[in-house]
Amino acid sequence: MIEPGTRAPDFSLPDHDGNEVSLSDFAGRKLVLAFYPLDFSPVCTDQLGLYQEVLGEIEAQGASLVGVSVDSSYCHHAFREQLNLTMPLLADFNPKGEVSRAYGAWIDQADHGNRSLVLIQNGEVSWSHAAPTPLEIPGANLIFDALAK
């Protein structure tokens, strides 16, 4: 998992509508990257649904929250619609997992991202958390604690 104090690896990924989103788009804001394995899986559905419930509170603290997985933009689009998500979902699709790997949020044996959270401020990682297993959802309290520091 990427360590606090590390310069955040740059990225440019398509979102759920195919628009390119880059790290630089969040300059001057706190950014929480929420890495997760796959759209439509039961645990991922619960995870993103939970983050949607508290998204307004996260944004009230001057932060943006963005989901990242290896699914395509088309899959992300359908997943957002089904769950009524408003946060952007980025497709770390091609090359598969490149950004997830750069942030240390990757499980080689499973060939997908791990459930991980990364807080970026001023282009630097200020906090990170990796779930011990893909079956464990990193709770929203972790995000709020990190934002409060």
Q: Is residue 124 within 8 Å of residue 5, measured between CB atoms?
A: yes
CA–CA distance, 105 with 36 (Å, rounded to integer): 9
What's the chain's length in residues?
Answer: 149
- Cβ neighbors of 133 (< 8 A, separation 6 or more) are none
- Which listed residue (8, 44, 90, 143) is catalytic? 44
The residue among 103, 134, 96, 111 whose CA lies nearest residue 32 is 103
Q: Is 44 a catalytic residue?
A: yes
Quote the tokens at residue 82.
């089904």
Name the strand (E) or helix (H) holding 79: helix 73-83
Mind telling me the catalytic residues? 44
